[in-house]
Amino acid sequence: MNHAGSSNKVISITRNLSDKKDSDSLRQKKKTNTRVIAITSGKGGVGKTNIVANLGFALSRLRKKVLVLDADLGLGNLDVLLGIAPKYNLSHVVAGEKSISDIIVKGPGEMKILPAGSGIQEITDLSRDQKIRILSELDTLLDTVDILLIDTAAGISSNVMYFNVSAQNIIVVATPEPTSMTDAYALMKVLSMRYSEKKFSLLVNLAASVEEAHEVFRQLDLVAKRFLDISIEYIGYVLADKNVTKGVRHQKIVSELYPDTIASRCFATLAEKVCKLPPPKFPKGDAKIFWKSLVQNKFA
Protein backbone atom coordinates (compact mmCIF):
# COMPACT_ATOMS: atom_id res chain seq x y z
CA MET A 1 0.00 0.00 0.00
CA ASN A 2 1.36 3.42 -0.96
CA HIS A 3 0.92 5.45 2.23
CA ALA A 4 2.64 8.49 0.75
CA GLY A 5 0.18 8.53 -2.17
CA SER A 6 -2.80 8.19 0.15
CA SER A 7 -1.46 10.92 2.39
CA ASN A 8 -0.96 13.26 -0.57
CA LYS A 9 -4.48 12.51 -1.75
CA VAL A 10 -5.93 13.37 1.66
CA ILE A 11 -3.91 16.60 1.76
CA SER A 12 -5.13 17.49 -1.74
CA ILE A 13 -8.77 16.86 -0.82
CA THR A 14 -8.36 18.87 2.40
CA ARG A 15 -6.84 21.77 0.47
CA ASN A 16 -9.63 21.67 -2.10
CA LEU A 17 -12.26 21.74 0.62
CA SER A 18 -10.44 24.58 2.36
CA ASP A 19 -10.14 26.53 -0.90
CA LYS A 20 -13.84 26.00 -1.60
CA LYS A 21 -14.72 27.17 1.91
CA ASP A 22 -12.57 30.30 1.48
CA SER A 23 -14.10 30.94 -1.95
CA ASP A 24 -17.63 30.53 -0.60
CA SER A 25 -16.77 32.85 2.28
CA LEU A 26 -15.49 35.51 -0.10
CA ARG A 27 -18.58 35.24 -2.30
CA GLN A 28 -20.81 35.44 0.76
CA LYS A 29 -18.99 38.57 1.92
CA LYS A 30 -19.42 40.12 -1.52
CA LYS A 31 -23.12 39.35 -1.64
CA THR A 32 -23.72 40.78 1.81
CA ASN A 33 -21.92 44.00 0.92
CA THR A 34 -24.19 44.71 -2.05
CA ARG A 35 -26.86 47.22 -1.05
CA VAL A 36 -30.25 47.05 -2.79
CA ILE A 37 -32.32 50.21 -2.35
CA ALA A 38 -35.81 50.87 -3.70
CA ILE A 39 -36.77 54.51 -4.22
CA THR A 40 -40.52 54.78 -4.39
CA SER A 41 -43.52 57.07 -3.95
CA GLY A 42 -47.23 56.84 -3.46
CA LYS A 43 -47.87 59.67 -5.92
CA GLY A 44 -46.42 60.46 -9.33
CA GLY A 45 -44.84 63.81 -10.09
CA VAL A 46 -42.75 64.04 -6.91
CA GLY A 47 -39.41 63.95 -8.77
CA LYS A 48 -38.58 60.36 -7.86
CA THR A 49 -36.75 59.45 -11.08
CA ASN A 50 -34.75 62.67 -10.94
CA ILE A 51 -33.72 61.76 -7.40
CA VAL A 52 -32.65 58.27 -8.48
CA ALA A 53 -30.52 59.63 -11.34
CA ASN A 54 -28.84 62.30 -9.24
CA LEU A 55 -28.30 59.98 -6.28
CA GLY A 56 -26.73 57.38 -8.57
CA PHE A 57 -24.42 60.02 -9.99
CA ALA A 58 -23.48 61.34 -6.53
CA LEU A 59 -22.76 57.79 -5.31
CA SER A 60 -20.53 57.14 -8.32
CA ARG A 61 -18.61 60.30 -7.41
CA LEU A 62 -17.95 58.61 -4.06
CA ARG A 63 -16.35 55.73 -6.00
CA LYS A 64 -19.30 53.39 -5.56
CA LYS A 65 -20.17 50.97 -8.35
CA VAL A 66 -23.80 51.88 -9.03
CA LEU A 67 -26.42 50.10 -11.10
CA VAL A 68 -29.82 51.75 -11.60
CA LEU A 69 -32.86 49.67 -12.50
CA ASP A 70 -35.74 51.58 -14.07
CA ALA A 71 -38.59 49.49 -12.67
CA ASP A 72 -41.40 51.76 -13.88
CA LEU A 73 -42.43 49.00 -16.25
CA GLY A 74 -44.29 50.14 -19.34
CA LEU A 75 -43.77 53.83 -18.54
CA GLY A 76 -40.05 54.03 -17.89
CA ASN A 77 -38.49 57.43 -18.57
CA LEU A 78 -35.08 57.30 -16.90
CA ASP A 79 -33.39 56.99 -20.29
CA VAL A 80 -35.25 60.07 -21.58
CA LEU A 81 -34.26 62.05 -18.49
CA LEU A 82 -30.60 61.14 -19.09
CA GLY A 83 -30.70 61.72 -22.83
CA ILE A 84 -29.77 58.16 -23.77
CA ALA A 85 -31.42 55.92 -26.38
CA PRO A 86 -31.01 52.24 -25.42
CA LYS A 87 -31.54 49.66 -28.13
CA TYR A 88 -32.92 47.09 -25.70
CA ASN A 89 -34.81 47.30 -22.42
CA LEU A 90 -36.33 45.19 -19.67
CA SER A 91 -39.17 44.00 -21.87
CA HIS A 92 -36.62 42.02 -23.91
CA VAL A 93 -35.41 40.35 -20.69
CA VAL A 94 -38.96 39.51 -19.61
CA ALA A 95 -39.62 37.98 -23.05
CA GLY A 96 -36.44 35.91 -22.76
CA GLU A 97 -34.91 37.57 -25.82
CA LYS A 98 -32.00 39.23 -24.00
CA SER A 99 -30.15 38.86 -20.72
CA ILE A 100 -29.76 41.65 -18.18
CA SER A 101 -26.13 42.15 -19.21
CA ASP A 102 -27.26 42.73 -22.82
CA ILE A 103 -29.40 45.75 -21.97
CA ILE A 104 -27.04 47.64 -19.65
CA VAL A 105 -26.17 51.15 -20.86
CA LYS A 106 -23.73 53.69 -19.47
CA GLY A 107 -25.16 56.69 -17.65
CA PRO A 108 -23.58 59.91 -16.34
CA GLY A 109 -20.38 59.42 -14.39
CA GLU A 110 -19.61 55.77 -13.91
CA MET A 111 -23.12 54.52 -13.10
CA LYS A 112 -24.85 51.93 -15.26
CA ILE A 113 -28.52 51.84 -16.26
CA LEU A 114 -31.01 49.02 -16.81
CA PRO A 115 -33.74 50.74 -18.89
CA ALA A 116 -37.41 49.83 -18.77
CA GLY A 117 -39.74 49.82 -21.76
CA SER A 118 -42.06 52.71 -22.45
CA GLY A 119 -45.55 52.21 -23.84
CA ILE A 120 -45.32 48.42 -23.52
CA GLN A 121 -48.49 47.27 -21.79
CA GLU A 122 -47.47 43.61 -21.67
CA ILE A 123 -44.90 44.17 -18.92
CA THR A 124 -47.02 46.37 -16.66
CA ASP A 125 -48.38 43.33 -14.83
CA LEU A 126 -45.69 40.70 -14.44
CA SER A 127 -46.55 37.05 -13.90
CA ARG A 128 -44.86 34.99 -11.19
CA ASP A 129 -42.54 33.36 -13.73
CA GLN A 130 -41.58 36.75 -15.16
CA LYS A 131 -40.78 38.05 -11.68
CA ILE A 132 -38.56 35.03 -11.08
CA ARG A 133 -36.82 35.65 -14.41
CA ILE A 134 -36.02 39.27 -13.52
CA LEU A 135 -34.69 38.40 -10.06
CA SER A 136 -32.63 35.54 -11.46
CA GLU A 137 -31.12 37.88 -14.03
CA LEU A 138 -30.42 40.59 -11.45
CA ASP A 139 -28.88 37.94 -9.22
CA THR A 140 -26.06 37.47 -11.72
CA LEU A 141 -25.07 41.15 -11.46
CA LEU A 142 -25.10 41.70 -7.70
CA ASP A 143 -21.49 40.70 -7.17
CA THR A 144 -20.33 43.36 -9.64
CA VAL A 145 -21.93 46.39 -7.95
CA ASP A 146 -21.85 48.12 -4.58
CA ILE A 147 -25.33 49.61 -4.80
CA LEU A 148 -28.38 48.69 -6.86
CA LEU A 149 -30.95 51.51 -7.00
CA ILE A 150 -34.45 50.48 -8.02
CA ASP A 151 -36.59 53.29 -9.42
CA THR A 152 -40.10 51.93 -8.88
CA ALA A 153 -43.28 53.19 -10.43
CA ALA A 154 -45.56 55.35 -8.27
CA GLY A 155 -48.62 53.95 -6.52
CA ILE A 156 -49.51 50.60 -4.96
CA SER A 157 -49.70 48.22 -7.91
CA SER A 158 -48.38 44.67 -7.59
CA ASN A 159 -45.22 45.55 -9.52
CA VAL A 160 -44.49 48.47 -7.19
CA MET A 161 -44.99 46.25 -4.15
CA TYR A 162 -42.82 43.55 -5.68
CA PHE A 163 -39.79 45.73 -6.29
CA ASN A 164 -40.10 47.43 -2.91
CA VAL A 165 -40.19 44.14 -1.05
CA SER A 166 -37.23 42.94 -3.14
CA ALA A 167 -35.05 45.72 -1.70
CA GLN A 168 -33.10 45.79 1.55
CA ASN A 169 -33.95 49.46 2.10
CA ILE A 170 -37.03 51.40 1.02
CA ILE A 171 -36.75 55.17 0.55
CA VAL A 172 -40.16 56.82 0.21
CA VAL A 173 -40.18 60.17 -1.61
CA ALA A 174 -42.75 62.78 -0.64
CA THR A 175 -43.22 66.50 -1.20
CA PRO A 176 -44.88 69.07 1.07
CA GLU A 177 -48.12 68.76 -0.93
CA PRO A 178 -50.93 67.18 1.16
CA THR A 179 -51.80 64.70 -1.62
CA SER A 180 -48.20 63.49 -1.77
CA MET A 181 -48.04 63.03 1.99
CA THR A 182 -51.34 61.15 2.01
CA ASP A 183 -50.23 58.82 -0.76
CA ALA A 184 -46.84 58.24 0.88
CA TYR A 185 -48.65 57.16 4.03
CA ALA A 186 -50.96 54.88 2.00
CA LEU A 187 -47.96 53.25 0.33
CA MET A 188 -46.27 52.52 3.65
CA LYS A 189 -49.55 51.26 5.07
CA VAL A 190 -49.98 48.69 2.29
CA LEU A 191 -46.35 47.57 2.50
CA SER A 192 -46.68 47.22 6.25
CA MET A 193 -50.04 45.46 6.49
CA ARG A 194 -49.82 43.21 3.42
CA TYR A 195 -46.09 42.57 3.08
CA SER A 196 -44.83 42.99 6.68
CA GLU A 197 -42.42 45.82 5.85
CA LYS A 198 -41.69 47.71 9.07
CA LYS A 199 -38.80 50.05 8.29
CA PHE A 200 -38.81 52.95 5.86
CA SER A 201 -36.66 55.99 5.09
CA LEU A 202 -38.30 59.26 4.11
CA LEU A 203 -36.84 61.73 1.63
CA VAL A 204 -38.62 65.06 1.25
CA ASN A 205 -38.28 66.60 -2.21
CA LEU A 206 -39.07 70.11 -3.51
CA ALA A 207 -39.10 71.62 -0.03
CA ALA A 208 -38.96 75.41 0.22
CA SER A 209 -36.78 75.20 3.33
CA VAL A 210 -35.11 72.77 5.71
CA GLU A 211 -37.85 73.55 8.23
CA GLU A 212 -40.63 72.70 5.77
CA ALA A 213 -38.95 69.40 4.91
CA HIS A 214 -38.64 68.45 8.57
CA GLU A 215 -42.30 69.31 9.15
CA VAL A 216 -43.33 66.85 6.41
CA PHE A 217 -41.35 64.14 8.19
CA ARG A 218 -42.78 65.11 11.58
CA GLN A 219 -46.37 64.81 10.38
CA LEU A 220 -45.86 61.48 8.60
CA ASP A 221 -43.90 60.05 11.51
CA LEU A 222 -46.60 61.16 13.95
CA VAL A 223 -49.47 59.51 12.06
CA ALA A 224 -47.41 56.38 11.37
CA LYS A 225 -46.60 55.92 15.05
CA ARG A 226 -50.25 56.38 15.92
CA PHE A 227 -51.83 54.06 13.36
CA LEU A 228 -49.09 51.80 11.95
CA ASP A 229 -46.53 49.50 13.52
CA ILE A 230 -43.62 50.90 11.50
CA SER A 231 -40.56 53.08 11.97
CA ILE A 232 -39.61 55.92 9.63
CA GLU A 233 -36.07 57.26 9.39
CA TYR A 234 -35.63 60.80 8.12
CA ILE A 235 -32.87 60.40 5.54
CA GLY A 236 -32.97 63.99 4.30
CA TYR A 237 -34.33 66.48 1.82
CA VAL A 238 -33.78 68.08 -1.58
CA LEU A 239 -34.63 71.76 -1.66
CA ALA A 240 -36.54 73.29 -4.56
CA ASP A 241 -34.09 74.50 -7.20
CA LYS A 242 -34.90 76.01 -10.59
CA ASN A 243 -31.70 74.50 -11.99
CA VAL A 244 -33.26 71.04 -11.70
CA THR A 245 -35.85 72.05 -14.30
CA LYS A 246 -33.12 73.48 -16.51
CA GLY A 247 -31.31 70.17 -16.34
CA VAL A 248 -34.43 68.22 -17.31
CA ARG A 249 -34.90 70.42 -20.37
CA HIS A 250 -31.32 69.74 -21.44
CA GLN A 251 -31.66 66.02 -20.58
CA LYS A 252 -28.84 66.39 -18.07
CA ILE A 253 -29.01 65.76 -14.35
CA VAL A 254 -28.48 68.83 -12.20
CA SER A 255 -25.59 67.22 -10.28
CA GLU A 256 -23.63 67.00 -13.51
CA LEU A 257 -24.74 70.25 -15.14
CA TYR A 258 -24.68 72.48 -12.03
CA PRO A 259 -22.57 70.67 -9.42
CA ASP A 260 -22.51 73.64 -7.01
CA THR A 261 -26.20 74.46 -7.02
CA ILE A 262 -28.30 73.87 -3.90
CA ALA A 263 -30.04 70.70 -5.16
CA SER A 264 -26.71 69.15 -6.16
CA ARG A 265 -25.36 69.75 -2.67
CA CYS A 266 -28.46 68.06 -1.25
CA PHE A 267 -27.86 65.02 -3.45
CA ALA A 268 -24.22 64.86 -2.38
CA THR A 269 -25.29 64.88 1.27
CA LEU A 270 -27.91 62.21 0.57
CA ALA A 271 -25.30 59.99 -1.09
CA GLU A 272 -23.08 60.24 1.98
CA LYS A 273 -26.00 59.23 4.22
CA VAL A 274 -26.81 56.25 1.99
CA CYS A 275 -23.21 55.08 2.27
CA LYS A 276 -23.49 55.21 6.05
CA LEU A 277 -26.71 53.19 6.31
CA PRO A 278 -26.24 50.28 8.73
CA PRO A 279 -26.13 46.84 7.10
CA PRO A 280 -29.60 45.28 6.93
CA LYS A 281 -30.34 42.34 9.19
CA PHE A 282 -31.60 38.92 8.14
CA PRO A 283 -33.62 38.05 6.10
CA LYS A 284 -32.66 41.04 3.96
CA GLY A 285 -28.99 41.09 4.88
CA ASP A 286 -28.05 38.99 1.88
CA ALA A 287 -30.04 40.04 -1.15
CA LYS A 288 -29.36 36.83 -3.06
CA ILE A 289 -30.57 34.51 -0.28
CA PHE A 290 -33.59 36.72 0.32
CA TRP A 291 -34.57 36.87 -3.35
CA LYS A 292 -34.57 33.08 -3.67
CA SER A 293 -37.48 32.77 -1.24
CA LEU A 294 -39.22 36.07 -2.01
CA VAL A 295 -41.47 34.96 -4.87
CA GLN A 296 -42.43 31.68 -3.20
CA ASN A 297 -43.35 33.29 0.11
CA LYS A 298 -44.93 36.64 -0.80
CA PHE A 299 -45.75 36.58 -4.49
CA ALA A 300 -46.72 32.97 -5.15
Q: Phi first, then psi: give them for residue 237, nearest 5 degrees.
A: -150, 160
The identity of residue 208, as a single letter, is A
Q: Phi first, then psi: give them for residue 42, nearest 5 degrees.
A: -80, -25
Q: Phi first, then psi: give them for residue 45, nearest 5 degrees.
A: 80, 15
Question: For residues 123 and 120, what is the distance between their CA atoms, to the nearest angstrom?
Answer: 6
Q: pLDDT 10s digit of each residue in the chain, 300 long?
A: 555 555 555 444 444 444 444 434 433 444 447 899 999 999 999 999 999 999 999 999 999 999 999 988 766 789 889 999 899 988 888 888 998 899 999 999 989 999 986 544 455 567 777 777 777 788 888 889 999 999 999 999 888 898 899 899 999 999 999 999 999 999 999 999 999 999 999 999 999 999 999 999 999 999 999 999 999 999 999 999 999 999 999 999 999 999 999 999 999 999 999 999 887 765 566 655 455 545 455 554
Using an 8 Å Cβ cutoff, are 67 and 147 in contact?
yes
Fold of the 34-285 domain: Rossmann fold (3.40.50)
Q: What is the b/e burial string over 114-148, where b = at least 16 CB atoms within 10 angstroms of the residue's CB?
A: bbbbbebeebeebeeebbbbbbebbeebbeebbbb
pTM: 0.84
Using an 8 Å Cβ cutoff, are 113 and 272 in contact?
no
Max Cα–Cα distance, the chain, nearest Å: 85
